[in-house]
């Protein structure tokens, strides 16, 4: 019963909570994509090291966290606006973030990122994506 109450509460998020969730989702998407790119460039596979926790496999924890936040935001929005798996995320290849995540471009981020900023282009993470990933702690 407690879980049902939590799920019902998701519809009562404030605009500020939604904004923070959107920011966190995009930061973790960038960080997770950056980690995948580093792993595939170095080892030729998505997750080279043995996961410390089975829930970490096959994607980095940050990417899984981003997909979970995206799913919650989709519930709040009542549509499938945000990608909730790697396939859906890669369908956004080359698509400016502004087109599918306009909430990210608030007053704080409006001038920080190029309007054409995309997480990936031609199947590889962009410099902007790497910079966003480093901003949340991914090591180069």
Ordered by start, the domain boundaries in the chain are: 14-135
Q: Is the pTM of this model over 0.75?
A: yes
CB 125 within 8 A of CB 34: yes
Q: Can you tell me whether residue 115 is helix, strand or coil? A: coil
How far apart CA 45 and CA 38 sit, in angstroms, is 10
Say if residues 91 and 97 touch (Cβ distance below 8 Å).
Answer: no
Q: What percent of the chain has pLDDT over 70?
A: 81
Summarised one tens digit per residue, pLDDT across range 84-138 is 999 999 999 999 999 999 888 876 777 788 889 999 999 999 999 999 988 888 8
- 73-86 per-position pLDDT tens digit: 998 888 999 999 99
């Amino acid at each position: 019963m407690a879980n049902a109450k939590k799920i019902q509460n998701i519809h009562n998020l404030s605009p500020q909570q939604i904004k923070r969730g959107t920011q966190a989702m995009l930061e973790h998407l960038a960080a997770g994509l950056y980690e995948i790119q580093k792993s595939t460039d170095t080892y030729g596979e998505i997750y080279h090291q043995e996961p410390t926790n089975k829930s970490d496999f096959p994607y980095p924890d940050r990417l899984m966290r981003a997909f979970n936040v995206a799913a919650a935001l989709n519930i709040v929005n009542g549509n499938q606006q945000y990608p909730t798996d790697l396939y859906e995320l890669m369908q956004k290849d080359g698509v400016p973030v502004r087109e599918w995540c306009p909430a990210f471009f608030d007053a704080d981020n409006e001038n920080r990122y190029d309007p054409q900023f995309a997480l990936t282009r031609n199947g590889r993470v962009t410099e902007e994506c790497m910079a966003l990933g480093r901003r949340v702690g991914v090591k180069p």
